[in-house]
């Protein structure tokens, strides 16, 4: 299952305005006309557009969220039963993920933040593998 929230680099608790802003930012960045028709950018742009079309429609988003939560729950159960070593991030990418996460939650009321999703994102970033990689 494609994680449309990851595609748009937003949290599942993102507002409709945040979804729209993320789409516009990424659409500009990956639009094929701005990238000499590069097929990689074209595929990324199509995925971004697909994610936006689902997450910007209230009914489709509600259906997607139900499937997304079921998929996440199943994935977490599978990870718990196997040894899982998260991908090690290079320092600049690691820092960018923290910056993106900060942008997503800044200005939100505490009640608007999906604390479980935020905790899981932080847990991934602060994995042993990432911390070991960042130490000198």
| Token digits of residue 27 | 């659409």
Residues 93 and 126 reside in one and the same domain: yes
Please provide residue 127's backbone torsions phi and psi, each rounded to the nearest 5 degrees.
-65, 160
Q: What is the pLDDT of residue 61?
A: 92
Residues 30 and 67 reside in one and the same domain: yes
Torsion, CA 31, CA 33, CA 38, CA 44, rounded to 10: 10
Domains in the chain: how many in total? 2
Give the Å distances, CA to CA, from 56 to 9, 53, 88, 111. Answer: 14, 6, 32, 21
Please give the average pLDDT of every successive group of 10 residues along the chain, which has 136 residues.
90 93 94 83 91 93 88 68 51 73 77 77 76 65
Residues 28 and 75 reside in one and the same domain: yes
Q: What is the pLDDT of residue 9?
A: 94
Q: What is the pLDDT of residue 128?
A: 75
Residues 69 and 124 reside in one and the same domain: no
Largest CA distance in the chain: 49
Residues 43 and 6 reside in one and the same domain: yes
- Residue 130 C-alpha from the chain's centroid: 18
Q: What is the pLDDT of residue 135?
A: 66
pTM of the model as a whole: 0.54
SS3 call for 128: helix
Residues 78 and 90 reside in one and the same domain: no
CATH assignment of the domain containing 70 = 1.10.287.110
């Amino acid at each position: 299952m494609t994680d449309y929230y990851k595609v748009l680099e937003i949290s599942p608790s993102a507002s409709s305005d945040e979804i729209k802003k993320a789409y516009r930012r990424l659409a500009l960045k990956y639009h094929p006309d701005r990238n000499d028709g590069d097929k990689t950018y074209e595929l990324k742009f199509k995925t971004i557009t697909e994610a936006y079309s689902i997450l910007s429609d209230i009914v489709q988003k509600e259906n997607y969220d139900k499937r997304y939560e079921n998929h996440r729950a199943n994935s977490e159960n599978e990870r718990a039963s196997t040894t899982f070593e998260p991908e090690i991030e290079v320092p600049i990418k690691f820092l960018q993920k923290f910056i993106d996460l900060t942008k997503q939650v800044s200005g939100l009321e505490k009640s608007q933040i999906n604390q479980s999703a935020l905790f899981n994102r932080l847990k991934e970033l602060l994995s042993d593998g990432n911390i070991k990689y960042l130490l000198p």
